[in-house]
Structure 1
Amino acid sequence: MKARLHITPLPYQDDPIVYFGALRQRPGAVLLDSGRPVASGGRYDIISSDPVSLLYVDEQGSVRVDGIVCDQPNPFVAQQALLDSLALELPDSDLPFLAGLIGYWGYDLGRALEPVGASTNHTVGLPSSRTGLYDWALIQDHRQKESWLVATHARREQVLGWLDSPAFTGPEFQLQSPFAGELDRAGYARRFAAVQEYIRAGDCYQINLAQRFSAPYVGDLWSAYLRLRQATPTPFAGYMAWPSDRGEQAILSLSPERFLHCRSDGHVETRPIKGTRPRGATPEEDRHLAEALKASPKDRAENVMIVDLLRNDLGRVCRPGSVRVPQLCGLESYANVHHLVSVVCGELEAGRRPLDLLAAAFPGGSITGAPKVRAMQIIDELEPSRRSVYCGSLGFVDVRGNMDTSIAIRTALADGERLHLWGGGGLVADSEVEAEYVETLDKIRHLMAALGEPKHKVE
C-alpha cells in the first residue's frame, strides 16, 4: 500500500532562511532559493533534507546509488529509474514539487553524452552529479504568501520536530587570502586568440571562454551564502553542502538564469542569457548602459546564435512545429548587471519525459557556444581545468513531470578548504580581448567583494 502525501499549511516566511536555518545541518539538506524578499522574478522556495536515496556520479564516471555502483551507466536513465521507484499516493495540488529528485548536474556530465575529450585537469573534486530522492518538501509561494509542508503523516511529525530545533550557528566565514586567477591577462589573451582562429577557420561561431579564481577559507559556508544572497539576490539561487573524504563540499549558487522549465502537461521553456553590461552608478549612466546593450549588434548576435542552438536542442524531444520564440533579446536588469534574455518554448513529444529533455539539451547552449559539441571540445582544450558544477545545472524533477533547473553561473564551489569562482563570456568574431577579459571579472567581482575581498583590480 502506498503512503499518502498530505499538505499541511505552515506560517508564511518572506525569507526562506528562517526555515532552512533550522534544517541545514540535516543530511542531504537542500535549498532552491527564489531570492525573496529582495529578488524579483522568483516565486517558489523548495526546501528538503534526509533523502530516501542518493545518486551521484563519481570521479571515474560511475553512477552510484547509496554508494553502490549502478548497472546503468547513463546517469539520466539511472535518475529516471530512481524517480520511478518512489511509491507515494499524491494529492491533487498545483505546487511545483511534491516529491522527487533535487540536486545538481555538473557541466562535466556532458562528457557522458558527447565526444568532448578529457584533456583538462580535474582540479575541483565535486561529483559530476549529485541528486537525492526526496519524499517530502517545504514549499513557499511568495506570490500567494503561503507556506506548505508536503509529507506523509510519519514524516510530517519528524520535520515539525526538526523545525522546532534551534538554528545552528557556525564560525564566521573568512577568506584566508585574496582570490587568485588560474589565468593571468596574457594567458587569457592567448586563449582568446586561439578562439578567434577557430572562428575564422569555420570550426565555430561562438565560444564561451571562462576563467577560474580560487581562495582558501575558514568558517561556515552558510554564512558565506547569506552574504552572497544579500549582495546579489537572484531568482534561481541554491545552496547545498555535504561532507566528503576531501572535507566539506558545497554549492553556493546565485544564478540569474533559468535553464529548463517543464510542466506536467509537457510545456517546456528555456531562458538563455547572452549580453551583459554592468549597472550604472547614476540613473542616467544606468539607462545609457542598458540602451547600449539593447542596441549592440554583437550582443544581439551572441543571443540569437544561442537561441538557434536551443531551438535545435528542444526540437530533439519536442513535438514538431511546437518550438517557438516568444521573446528575443529582452532586457532584464539585476542587482549588478543588465542582461539580454530570450525565451524559447515547446511541447514535449508523447512518451518523452523531463529527464529526456534535460539530457537532450545538456549542458546549456548559453554557456558552451555554437555549434555545441565543437564548442565543448574547444573549451576542453583551452580552459586549464574542468568546470565541475559551474555551467551545469541545479534544480528539481517532480514525480508528476514538473521540472525546473537553473544554469549554474555566478556560482561558488567549496571543495575541502578552498572556494572556487568562475567568470566567463561568449566570444564571437568581432569580440575585443580587453572588453571580454573585463567582462569575466564584472560578472563575479561583486561576489568576491561580498565574501570579504577588496575590489578585484584589472591588471
Structure 2
Amino acid sequence: MIRTDWQDWKRWSRKYTMLPYIYEAEWKGLPLSWEAFWDQAGPYSFVLESGRSGRYTYVGLLPSAYICGCGEEAVEYVLLDRDSVQEALSGASAHLLSVRYEPARKMQGPPLDILRAWMAEYHSPLPEEMSCFTGGCAGYLGYDSLPMTKQPRSRTEADPDEPDYLFMLFDRIWVYDHECEKLSVCVHIDISREMSDQGVDEAKLLEAYRRAARTAENLADMWRVCAEKAAAAGKTRRARFEQLAKAEDRNTDGEAYLLETNMSKEQFTAAVKRVQDYIRAGEVLQVNLSLSQKRKVDLAPEILYEWLRLLNPSPYMGLLRLGEFQLVSGSPELLIKKSGNHLRTRPIGGTRKRGRTEEEDRALEQELLTNAKERSEHKMLVDVEYADLSRAAEHGTVSVDQFMVIERYSHVMHLVSDLSAKLRQGLDAYDVLEAVFPGGTITGAPKRRTMEIIEELEPTRRGVYTGSFGWIDYKGNMEFNIIIRTMLVRGGTAYVQAGAGIVSESVPEREYQESLSKAQALWQAVHYAESAEKDSLT
C-alpha cells in the first residue's frame, strides 16, 4: 500500500529538500533471525528493537554518511558512488553491493553543536500518519562525550579507544509496527539537485518520486526474502535455546564465565567504602560504581545478538554495527524520548535477582517494594531525573506518571518509574540531551560531584558504557536508551560493564555481586551461543 502520493511530493517540494516516500505492507511478526539482513548490509548498520512491550522496531542497512568524533573534533564520512548505490536499490532486484566511505570534511565544536549543525542541513516533513522514526540519524553518545567534570581524565592505553560519539545518516529504513502488524519502508530522496533559482523542475521531481517508489517496493521485497531465508536458522536456534534454558540454571554465578575485570573484588569493595566516606562527609547521596569485564569470543556479534534477543528481550535493545566494533545491547532503560513537544523518561533503580519459581519471584518483588534502602535510593534517582527534565521543560509541566513499579527481565527485576514533561519553547532535541545526559540513574546524586568521584575511583574511562544510543529524525523527534546490559565487541574480544548504586547502607560484597548479576544475561548469551556452535560441529 502506498502511503505517499505524488501530490504530497509536489506540496512538500516547495519547502523541503528531503522528501519521504512511505510504502506499507502487511507482515505478521518480526523475522526469527536478522542474519540474512546483515548479508545485505554495509559495515555501518543497525537494528533497534522494543522487546515484548514496545511498538516499533527499526532496521537500517546502509547509511549515506556517518559522523564520528572525539572531544571537539569530528569527521564526516560519505558513501562513495552514492548514485550507483541508489540506482542498484531502485533496480529490478535491489541488492547492496560492496560499499565504502571516504572522509568528506572535518568539523569542530561541542558534540551536540556539531550534531545539530549536521542534521540542520537536511529538511524533511514527517508524514502525518507516521508517529515514529522514518529517517534521520542513528548512533550513540559515549559517557565521556559531554564531560561535566572540571578536568576530564585524558585517555590512556587502558581506556576504551572507540570514538566519543558516532552517528549514521539513514535515508532508507524499515519500520515494523508490532501493534498494527505492518511493515513500512521509508525512503528519503534529496531533491536539492532538482532545484534551481526558479524552483523545482517538475519532470525531474516526478522521476525522483518514481525512483523512491521503486526503491521502497524493492526494499519491501528484500525484507520478505531475508525474513524467509532466515526462518529455518531462527527456528533451529529457538529450539536449541529452549533445550539449553531447561538444562541451565539462570542463577549461575557471574564469576563462572572466566572473565577478566578491571577491578578485583577487593578493589571494588574498597571503592564502595570510599564512596561511603564521601556520603558520610555530606558530599554526595548516592554514586553508581561500575566494573568492566572482558573475555575472548569466537562468534560474530550478530550471532551473539540473536541469542541475547532469545534470552533477554528488553524494551530498548539493539545491535549497532559500527565498522570495527559492534554494540550488542539488551538495555531495559529509556533515557529520553521526544515526540513533538512531549518529553518522557523512565528511570530504573533497585534490583533483585530473579527467583527460580513464580513464588520466589513474588517474594523477591515484595521484598524489593518494601525495602527502605531501595525505596529511598529509587526516590533519590527520580528526584535527579525530575530536576534534569525540568531544565528543558515548561515550568510546572514535569509529572511523575508512574512510581516504583516492578519490571521483570530474564535474570533480574527492577523498580521503575515514568516521568513526562512539555518541552520549553525555543529549545530543541539537542538542548534536551544536554539537560538529561548522562542519566542520573547511572551516575548518582548530585550528578556533577558523583561524576568526579566516578573518575577518581573507576580505573578506566567508561567509553560507550552508560552513554546512550538511539535516533533523531529530520523533525527533531528522538528516542535514546541508556547503554547498560550492553556488550561491546571488537577484534574478537567482548567487553561488558555493569555497576551498582552505592548508598550509606550498602553492603560492599552485595554491591559487587549485584554488578555481576546485571551482566549475567549477556555472558549467558555468549555461553549459549558457544554451546550451540560447538554442538553443530560435533
Is the shorter-chain TM-score for this pair beyond 0.5, marking a shared fold? Answer: yes
The amino acid of 1:351's aligned partner reads G
Matches of 1:425 and 1:28, distance apart in 2:
32
- Counterpart of 1:5 in 2: which secondary structure? strand
Q: TM-score with structure 2 length normalisation?
A: 0.77
Indicate yes or no: 2:285 matched with 1:202: no
How much does 1:120 deviate? 6.7
| Structure 1 residue 425, shift from structure 2 partner | 0.8
1:56 maps to: 68
In the other structure, the counterpart of 2:42 is 26
The question of whether the paired residues in 2 share the 8 Å contact of 1:99 and 1:399 is answered with: yes
Q: Which amino acid aligns with 1:312?
A: A
Identify the match of residue 12 of structure 1 among 15, 27, 35.
27
Aligned equivalent of 1:271: 346
Match of 1:94 in 2: 130
SS state of the match for residue 230, structure 1?
helix
1:292 is displaced (CA, Å) by 0.3
Shift of 1:275: 0.1
Picking from 110, 117, 142, the partner of 1:106 is 142
Quote how far apart the aligned CAs of 1:48 are: 1.1
Partner of 2:501: 426
Deviations 1:368-387 (CA, angstroms, capped at 9, x unpaired): 00111111111111111111
Residues 206-242 of structure 1: CA deviation (Å, up to 9, x unaligned): 0000011011122311001111111111010010123
CA 1:366–1:116: 2 relative to 1, 3 Å: farther
Contact 2:185/2:220 (CA < 8 Å) preserved in 1? no
8 Å contact kept, 1:32–1:237: yes
Instruction: String of CA shifts for 1:6-27, please: whole Å, max 9, x gaps.
Output: 1111342422565673246324
CA pair 53-352 structure 1, distance change in 2 beyond 3 A: same
> 2:150 aligned to 107, 111, 115, which one?
115
Counterpart of 2:216 in structure 1 is 156
Q: Deviations over 1:294-348 (max 9, x none)?
A: 0011111111111111111111111111111122212222222111011121111
Q: TM-score, normalised by structure 1?
A: 0.89
Task: Name the count of aligned residue pairs.
Answer: 437
CA contact 1:120–1:380 (8 Å) conserved in 2: no
Root-mean-square deviation (Å): 2.3
CA contact (8 A) 2:354 2:412 kept: yes
Aligned partners of 2:337 and 2:478 also within 8 Å: yes
Q: Does 1:254 align with 2:254?
A: no
Could you tell me which residue of structure 2 aligns to residue 231 of structure 1? 311
Q: Which residue of 2 aligns with 1:130?
A: 166
Of 470, 475, 481, 1:395 maps to 470
Kindly report which structure 2 residues correspond to 1:281-320, keeping only aligned pairs within 5 A, or say none: 281-320=356-395
Aligned amino acid, residue 301 of structure 1 = S
User: Is 1:350 the equivalent of 2:430?
Assistant: no
User: Residue 279 of structure 1 contacts residue 335 of structure 1 at CA under 8 Å; is this kept in 2?
Assistant: yes
**1:76: which partner in 2?**
112
Which whole-Å CA distance do the structure 2 matches of 1:75 and 1:222 have between them?
A: 29
Distance 1:341 1:322 in 2: 20
2:76 is aligned, of 65, 68, 75, to 65
User: What's the CA shift for 1:117?
Assistant: 2.1
Is this contact kept in 2: 1:23–1:162, CA < 8 A? no
Contact between 2:72 and 2:111, CA under 8 Å: does it hold in 1? no
Q: Secondary structure at the match of 2:297?
A: strand
Deviation (angstroms), 1:53: 2.1
Does residue 378 (structure 1) correspond to residue 453 (structure 2)? The answer is: yes
Distance 1:390 1:371, change over 3 A: same
Q: Determine whether 1:438 maps to 2:528.
A: no
The reply to whether residue 417 of structure 1 matches residue 453 of structure 2 is: no
From the superposition, tell whether residues 145 and 368 of structure 1 become closer, same or farther in structure 2 (CA, over 3 Å).
Answer: same
Contact persistence 1:22–1:164 (CA under 8 A): no
Equivalent pair of 2:30/2:176 in contact (CA under 8 Å):
no
1:457 corresponding residue in structure 2 = none
Distance in 1 separating the partners of 2:432 and 2:510: 35
Instruction: Please give the alpha-carbon distance, in whole angstroms, between the structure 2 residues aligned to 1:301 and 1:21.
Output: 47
CA distance in 2, matches of 1:17, 1:131: 27
Match of 1:178 in 2: 258
The 3 A distance-change label for structure 1 pair 3 and 285 is closer
Cα pair 1:63 1:74 within 8 Å, conserved: no
Give the Cα–Cα distance (whole angstroms) in 2 for the partners of residues 452 and 200 of structure 1: 41
Residue type at the aligned position of 2:167:
T
Distance 1:241 1:230, change over 3 A: same
Structure 2 residue 56 is the aligned partner of structure 1 residue 44: yes
Distance 1:210 1:116, change over 3 A: farther
Greater helix fraction, Structure 1 or Structure 2: 2
**2-structure distance, mates of 1:22, 1:13:** 17
Q: Does 1:141 align with 2:164?
A: no
| Preserved contact between residue 35 and residue 302 of structure 2 (Cα < 8 Å) | no
- After superposition, the Cα gap between the structure-2 partners of 1:303 and 1:115, relative to the gap in structure 1 and judged at 3 Å, is same
Whole-angstrom distance in 1 between the partners of 2:394 and 2:274:
39
Summarize the Cα distance change of 1:89–1:404 in structure 2 as closer, same or farther, 3 Å threshold: closer
Output the CA distance in 1 between the equivalents of 2:384 and 2:296. 38
Gaps of 5+ in 2: 1-12, 78-102, 189-210, 238-256, 530-538
Tell me which residue corresponds to 2:297: 217
Amino acid aligned to 1:10: A
Shift of residue 50, structure 1, vs aligned partner: 2.0
Tell me, yes or no, if the aligned pair for 2:349 and 2:414 is still in contact at 8 Å: yes
- Displacement, 1:119? 5.7
Counterparts of 2:151 and 2:287, CA distance in 1: 14
- Identity, in percent, stands at 32
